[in-house]
Amino acid sequence: MVRKAKIKDVPYIFQILQQYALKGILLPRSLHSIYENLRDFFVYEKDGEIVGVCSLHIYWEDLAEIKSLAVVYGHEKKGIGKTLVQKCIEEAKDLGIKKVFALTYVPEFFEKLGFKISDKSEFPQKVWAECVHCVKFNECKEVPVSMEIL
């Protein structure tokens, strides 16, 4: 079941994201950042356990980013990530956002969902608000992908 995250979920969201961040697969998020952006997060709950997380962060009237997508090890390849991304797209559509994007090390996953490889220059709001402060800014290997929402 996918639902909006709650305060009680923050430690679990942090743990899930941290597993991937420590392996360099995902950028780390602090507890403060998760609390501050909690309304952006969805969680996938199975048998009372959070096994996946994802967030939709709004940048502008027509642009949002899918961020912090992670599925607990052992639960991958079961459609959890796909379901979370689709929920973010659905919310973006409900909000009237026309384009969503993600920066990812796994562009193939997003391409299967209808995203297209993009260029970071299409997202100056992201680059100048967040990327410029990232330790990997000058050597970023993330691939930008985007989708127009009709």
CATH number at residue 107: 3.40.630.30
What pLDDT does residue 140 have? Answer: 59
pLDDT at 133: 45
Q: 75 lies in which domain range?
A: 2-148
21: Cα separation from own chain's centroid: 13
Structure tokens given for 50: 């959070």
Give me the pLDDT at residue 103, please: 87
Residue ranges in the chain whose pLDDT is less than 70? 123-141
pTM of the model: 0.88
Tokens of 57: 């962060």
In total, how many domains does the chain have?
A: 1
Phi, psi of 137 (to 5 degrees): -50, -50
Quick one: pLDDT at residue 143?
A: 83
The CA distance from 71 to 51, in Å, is: 6
At residue 37, φ and ψ (nearest 5 deg) are -110, 20
- Nearest C-alpha neighbor of 88 from the set 32, 141, 21, 39: 39
Q: What angle do CA 51, 129, 134 make, to 5 degrees?
A: 65
